[in-house]
C-alpha cells in the first residue's frame, strides 16, 4: 500500500497503462514539459518523451477531434482539456462525432479514448473555469462518464477507462487533486458502473458525486451526533449508473437526497431523482430532495462563490428538513 | 505523369460509376424510395477519382455530407451504399447512418459527416496515428469551400502543419456553401491562399480534370509519406445539383450554369479517351452498360434487403453496453 494524492494516482494510472501499451499516448494543452496546468502530467514528459506526452496548441476542437481520429485508427489516446469548461469549444467533436460515430457507422468502428476533464469550483476561478457540466455529457448516448471522489477510485477507474473501447469522459475535481488515499498500485481496475458506499447508514441515502461525496461524509458525521445515520452513496460512474446498488440502499433507508455541484436546473442530479421516482418510488417514505449549486453563473468573489456552492451545512439542513 | 491505359480506364469507370450512382440516387429520392437528405456529387467526380487513384487500400479518408463519390472512389461497395440509402439492415451502417454517415473501416473510410468541417480534425487524428505507429499511411481530408470558414479548418491545418502529419487537405471548391456563393462567403478567390498561414504548400488545380487532380494529389501523397507534412489542394469545380435534392438552386445564374456544364468532367474524359485512342466508342458503351448492370443489382439488393429490426435500435452505441429496448 502506498499513500498517494488523487493527482499522483491519475498520473500513475496513465503511466502504468503507457508502460504496458505503446498505443496509449497523452496530449493536451501544456501537458508536456510544463506538466499540465494542475501538474497532473508532471514528470511524464521525461519518462515517455514528446511523442507520447504531446503539447497541443490551444485548440480544443482539434484536441478532441484528433483523439477521435487517432482512436478510430488504432491508438488509445488520453486527451486532457485544461478545464472542463473548455469542452464547449470542442463540443461538436465530442457530441456529434465521438459519441455517435460507432452507432452511425453500424458498430463498425470503436473509439477507445479518454478525455480528462478537470472541473469544479472553489478556487475563485469564476464562471468560465469552474463549471460542473456532467449533465451535458451524460445526455449524449455513446459516452461513458466517470467521476471519482478518492485517489484510489481515480486510480482504479482510470485504469479501466483507458482499457475501455468507448469514449470515456473522466471527471477530476480540482479540489480533490490533493486528496490523499492509500492504494495498492497492483490493484485490479475498478469496473465502470459499480457504485461504492462510502459510509453505511440506515436512515437516509445521500447520493453524492465528486467533491460532494466529502461534503456528504462531513454532513453524515454531524447528523450522526444528532441520531440520524446517513448512507453516503458514491455512484463513481454517472454512465453506466449502478441503479441496482442505489435501489438496494433505498430499500434499506427509504429516503433519498441527491447532492451534486451542478447548477440545479437541468442537472444530472435531476436525472438521478427521476430514476428513483420512476423505478424506485415504492421504496420511498418521503419525497426525493436535491442539494445542488445555485442557478447562477459561478461568481468570482470568494464570499459569493462560497454562497453559491453546496456544502456540508446545506446537506445537514436539507436532511433535517426531510425528517 | 505516366499512367497506364488500365489505370486511365479505371479512372473513367470510377467517374462514371459515381455519376450514375448519383443519378439513380436522385431518381430514387424523387420517387420517395430514399428517405432523408441526399447531397449529390454530380460534377465533382474527377476530384474523388483523381485523389483516390493515388491512394492505397490502407490509406484513410474523411468525407463530407456530399460523400458518395469519395466512398465509391476509395473502394466502397455500391450494394451496401445503396442499401444504406434505403435504410436497410444490410447497409453499411445497418440503416443507422444513411447517406451522410457511410463508413467502411476496412477501406480506410472514416466516414461521411453531417457536420460541415467536422472531418478536418478527425483526419488530423488519423494522420497522427499513422505517423505515431510508424506506417506510411496517409489521410486525405475532403471538404468543401464552405467548411474553410469553420474554425476546425484552421485548427486542423495548424496542428497537421506543426506536427508534420501525413494529411492531404483536399478542398472541393464548388463555388457554393449551401446557397451562398464563394465570392460572398469569403473575401479571397482562392482557398489555397490560406495554406500560407500554416506554412503549407497551397496548390490550385482544375478539379474537373481528373489527371490534374491525380498529379497534384500524388505529389502531396509523396510529400506526406516522406514525412514532409500536409498539403492543401484546392480543386476548382462546380456542384451541378442544388445543395440537396429538392433544392431548386434559384440562386445560380444560368450563365454560370452553362459555363460550368461545358466543363463537365465526364464528357471531357470521354473526349480524352476517344481522342487519345484509349477506348473506342463501343468500348465506352460496354463499360457504361456494365455500370448500369452493377447499379441495377445494387438497387435490387437494396430493395430486397430486410428493414432493420426494431431491437437493433439499441445496439452499436457502445462496444459492451446495450440499452434496454423500450
State phi, psi for B196 to the nearest 5 degrees.
-60, -30
Interface check for B15 against chain A (CB to CB < 8 A): the answer is: no
Q: Which residues on chain A are in Cβ contact (under 8 Å) with B91?
A: 106
CATH number of A196-322: 3.40.50.920
pLDDT confidence of residue B324: 77
Tell whether the model's pLDDT for residue B27 goes beyond 60: yes
Q: Which residues on chain B are in Cβ contact (under 8 Å) with A64?
A: 121
Residue B239 lies in a domain: yes
State phi, psi for A79 to the nearest 5 degrees.
-100, 135
Q: A174 vs A40, A83, A131, A157, A220, CA distance in Å?
A: 10, 9, 11, 17, 23
pLDDT confidence of residue B245: 93
The DSSP line for B99-167 is: GGG--BGGGTB----SSTTTHHHHHHHHHHHHHHTT----EEEEEEGGGGGSHHHHHHHHHHHHTT--E
Q: Which residues on chain B are in Cβ contact (under 8 Å) with A108?
A: 92-93, 103-105
Tell whether the model's pLDDT for residue B1 goes beyond 70: no
Query: Do the Cβ atoms of B318 and A102 come within 8 Å?
Result: yes
Query: Do the Cβ atoms of B114 and A110 come within 8 Å?
Result: no
Query: What is the distance of C-alpha B290 from the center of its chain?
Result: 22
**Do the bridges between strand B167-173 and strand B139-144 make them parallel or antiparallel, or are there none, so unpaired?**
parallel
Residues in A whose CB is inside 8 Å of some CB of B read 23, 25, 51, 56-57, 59, 61-62, 64-75, 77, 92-93, 96-97, 101-110, 141-142, 144, 165-166, 240
Closest in A66, A74, A104 to B97, CB measured: A104
Query: Do the Cβ atoms of A65 and B92 come within 8 Å?
Result: no
Query: Do the Cβ atoms of B129 and A57 come within 8 Å?
Result: no
Torsion, CA B29, CA B32, CA B36, CA B41, rounded to 10: 0
The x, y and z cell numbers of residue A275, run together, are 430514476
Report yes or no: B42 and B23 within 8 Å, Cβ to Cβ: yes
SS3 A49: coil
Query: Do the Cβ atoms of B97 and A68 come within 8 Å?
Result: no
Minimal-distance CA residue of chain A relative to B128: A70
In whole angstroms, give the CA distance from residue B119 to residue B101.
11
Q: Which residues on chain B are in Cβ contact (under 8 Å) with A142?
A: 317-318
Give the number of other Cβ atoms within 10 Å of residue A294's Cβ.
Answer: 15
pLDDT confidence of residue B188: 97
Å between B113 CA and nearest CA of chain A: 9
CATH architecture of A2-183: 3-Layer(aba) Sandwich (3.40)
Residue B325 lies in a domain: no
Using only C-alpha atoms, chain A has a radius of gyration, in whole angstroms, of 19
Q: Is A139 a catalytic residue?
A: no
Minimal-distance CA residue of chain B relative to A51: B132
pLDDT tens for each residue of B99-155: 999 999 999 999 999 999 999 999 999 999 999 999 999 999 999 999 999 999 999
List where CATH 3.40.50.970 sits in chain A: 2-183
CATH code for position B115: 3.40.50.970
Closest among A209, A129, A172, A168 to A41, alpha carbons compared: A172
B147-174 burial, b at 16+ Cβ within 10 Å, e below that, comes to: bbebbbbbbbbbbbbebbbbbbbbbbbb
Residue B205 lies in a domain: yes
Å between A221 CA and nearest CA of chain B: 37
Give 10-residue mean pLDDT values along chain A (323 residues): 97 98 98 95 97 97 98 98 97 98 96 98 96 98 98 98 98 97 96 98 98 98 98 98 98 98 98 97 97 98 98 98 96
State phi, psi for B139 to the nearest 5 degrees.
-125, 130
List where CATH 3.40.50.920 sits in chain A: 196-322
Q: Is A122 left (phi over 0), alpha (psi -120 to 50) or beta?
A: left
Report yes or no: A104 and B109 within 8 Å, Cβ to Cβ: no
pLDDT confidence of residue A34: 95
Residue B97 lies in a domain: yes
In whole angstroms, give the CA distance from residue A205 to residue A225.
17
pLDDT confidence of residue A159: 98
Query: Do the Cβ atoms of B133 and A72 come within 8 Å?
Result: no
The x, y and z cell numbers of residue B139, run together, are 489521410
Q: A201 vs A27, A178, A230, A311, B268, CA distance in Å?
A: 42, 27, 5, 20, 80
**Domain around B278:** 5-314
pLDDT tens for each residue of A106-126: 999 999 999 999 999 999 999
Number of domains chain B is built from: 1
Query: What is the distance of C-alpha B82 from the center of its chain?
Result: 16
Sheet containing A256-263: which strands, arranged edge to edge? A196-199, A230-234, A204-208, A256-263, A289-293
The DSSP line for B18-57 is: HHHHHHHHHHHHHTT-S-S-----TT-HHHHHHHHTT--T
Å between A25 CA and nearest CA of chain B: 10
Q: Which residues on chain A are in Cβ contact (under 8 Å) with B321?
A: 240
Query: Do the Cβ atoms of A62 and B121 come within 8 Å?
Result: yes
Query: Do the Cβ atoms of A142 and B120 come within 8 Å?
Result: no
Report yes or no: B242 and B176 within 8 Å, Cβ to Cβ: no
pLDDT tens for each residue of B57-88: 999 999 999 999 999 999 999 999 999 999 99
Query: Do the Cβ atoms of A69 and B151 come within 8 Å?
Result: no
pLDDT band at B325 (very low <50, low <70, confident <90, very high): confident
Q: Which residues on chain A are in Cβ contact (under 8 Å) with B96?
A: 103-106
pLDDT confidence of residue B2: 77
Query: Do the Cβ atoms of A70 and B125 come within 8 Å?
Result: yes
Q: Is B290 left (phi over 0), alpha (psi -120 to 50) or beta?
A: alpha
Number of inter-chain CB pairs under 8 A, A vs B: 147
Closest in A66, A67, A106 to B93, CB measured: A106
Mean pLDDT for B156-175 is: 98
- Interface predicted TM-score of the whole assembly (ipTM), two decimals: 0.95
Residue B111 lies in a domain: yes
Tell whether the model's pLDDT for residue B326 goes beyond 90: no
Query: Which contiguous run of DSSP H or E holds residue A214?
Result: helix A211-225
Q: Which residues on chain B are in Cβ contact (under 8 Å) with A101?
A: 103, 111
Mean pLDDT for B266-277 is: 98
Minimal-distance CA residue of chain B relative to A76: B129
Q: Mean pLDDT of all residues in chain A?
A: 97
Peptide linkage before A240 cis (omega within 30 of 0): yes
Amino acid at each position: 500500500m502506498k499513500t498517494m494524492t488523487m493527482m499522483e494516482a491519475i498520473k500513475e494510472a496513465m503511466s502504468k497503462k503507457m508502460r504496458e501499451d505503446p498505443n496509449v499516448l497523452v496530449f493536451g494543452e501544456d501537458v508536456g514539459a510544463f506538466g499540465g496546468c494542475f501538474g497532473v502530467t508532471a514528470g511524464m514528459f521525461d519518462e515517455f518523451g514528446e511523442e507520447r506526452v504531446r503539447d497541443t496548441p490551444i485548440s480544443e476542437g482539434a484536441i478532441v477531434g484528433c483523439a477521435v481520429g487517432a482512436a478510430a485508427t488504432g491508438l488509445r489516446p488520453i486527451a486532457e482539456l485544461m478545464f472542463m469548461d473548455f469542452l464547449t469549444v470542442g463540443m461538436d467533436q465530442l457530441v456529434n462525432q465521438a459519441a455517435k460515430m460507432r452507432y452511425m457507422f453500424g458498430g463498425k468502428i470503436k473509439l477507445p479514448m479518454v478525455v480528462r476533464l478537470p472541473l469544479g469550483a472553489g478556487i475563485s476561478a469564476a464562471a468560465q473555469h469552474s463549471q460542473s457540466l456532467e449533465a451535458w455529457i451524460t445526455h449524449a448516448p455513446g459516452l461513458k462518464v466517470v467521476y471519482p471522489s478518492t485517489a484510489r477510485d481515480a486510480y482504479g477507474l482510470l485504469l479501466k477507462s483507458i482499457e475501455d473501447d468507448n469514449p470515456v469522459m473522466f471527471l477530476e475535481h480540482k479540489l480533490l487533486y490533493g486528496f490523499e488515499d492509500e492504494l495498492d498500485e497492483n490493484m485490479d481496475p475498478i469496473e465502470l458502473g459499480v457504485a461504492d458506499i462510502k459510509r453505511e447508514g440506515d436512515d437516509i441515502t445521500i447520493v453524492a458525486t465528486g467533491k460532494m461525496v466529502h461534503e456528504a461524509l462531513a454532513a453524515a458525521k454531524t447528523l450522526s451526533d444528532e441520531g440520524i445515520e446517513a448512507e453516503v452513496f458514491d455512484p463513481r460512474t454517472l454512465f453506466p449508473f449502478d441503479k441496482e446498488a442505489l435501489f438496494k440502499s433505498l430499500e434499506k433507508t427509504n429516503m433519498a437526497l441527491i447532492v451534486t455541484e451542478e447548477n440545479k436546473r437541468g442537472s444530472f442530479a435531476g436525472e438521478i431523482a427521476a430514476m428513483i421516482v420512476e423505478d424506485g418510488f415504492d421504496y420511498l417514505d418521503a419525497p426525493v430532495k436535491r442539494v445542488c449549486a445555485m442557478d447562477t453563473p459561478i461568481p468570482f468573489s470568494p464570499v459569493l462563490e462560497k454562497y453559491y456552492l453546496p456544502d456540508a451545512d446545506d446537506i445537514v439542513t436539507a436532511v433535517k428538513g426531510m425528517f | 505523369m505516366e499512367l497506364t491505359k488500365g489505370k486511365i480506364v479505371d479512372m473513367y469507370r470510377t467517374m462514371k460509376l459515381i455519376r450514375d450512382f448519383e443519378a439513380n440516387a436522385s431518381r430514387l429520392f424523387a420517387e420517395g424510395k430514399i428517405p432523408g437528405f441526399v447531397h449529390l456529387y454530380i460534377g465533382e467526380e474527377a476530384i474523388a477519382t483523381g485523389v483516390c487513384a493515388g491512394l492505397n487500400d490502407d490509406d484513410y479518408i474523411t468525407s463530407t455530407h456530399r460523400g458518395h463519390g469519395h466512398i465509391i472512389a476509395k473502394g466502397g461497395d455500391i450494394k451496401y451504399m445503396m442499401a444504406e440509402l434505403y435504410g436497410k439492415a444490410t447497409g453499411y451502417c445497418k440503416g443507422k447512418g444513411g447517406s451522410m454517415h457511410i463508413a467502411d473501416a476496412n477501406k480506410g473510410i472514416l466516414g461521411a459527416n453531417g457536420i460541415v468541417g467536422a472531418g478536418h480534425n478527425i483526419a488530423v487524428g488519423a494522420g497522427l496515428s499513422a505517423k505515431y505507429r510508424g506506417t506510411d499511411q496517409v489521410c486525405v481530408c475532403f471538404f468543401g469551400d464552405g467548411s474553410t470558414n469553420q474554425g476546425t479548418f484552421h485548427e486542423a491545418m495548424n496542428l497537421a502543419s506543426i506536427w508534420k502529419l501525413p494529411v492531404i487537405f483536399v478542398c472541393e471548391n464548388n463555388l457554393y456553401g449551401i446557397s451562398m456563393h464563394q465570392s460572398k462567403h469569403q473575401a479571397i478567390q482562392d482557398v489555397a491562399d490560406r495554406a500560407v498561414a500554416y506554412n503549407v504548400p497551397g496548390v490550385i488545380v482544375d478539379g474537373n480534370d481528373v489527371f490534374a487532380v491525380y498529379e497534384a494529389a500524388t505529389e502531396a501523397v509523396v510529400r506526406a509519406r516522406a514525412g514532409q507534412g500536409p498539403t492543401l489542394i484546392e480543386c476548382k469545380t462546380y456542384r451541378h445539383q442544388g445543395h440537396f435534392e429538392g433544392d431548386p438552386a434559384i440562386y445560380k445564374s444560368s450563365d454560370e450554369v452553362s459555363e460550368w456544364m461545358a466543363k463537365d468532367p465526364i464528357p471531357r474524359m470521354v473526349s480524352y479517351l476517344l481522342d487519345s485512342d484509349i477506348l473506342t466508342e463501343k468500348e465506352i458503351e460496354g463499360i457504361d452498360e456494365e455500370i448500369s448492370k452493377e447499379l441495377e443489382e445494387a438497387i435490387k439488393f437494396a430493395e430486397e434487403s430486410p428493414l432493420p429490426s426494431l431491437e437493433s435500435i439499441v445496439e452499436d452505441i457502445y462496444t459492451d453496453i446495450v440499452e434496454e429496448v423500450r
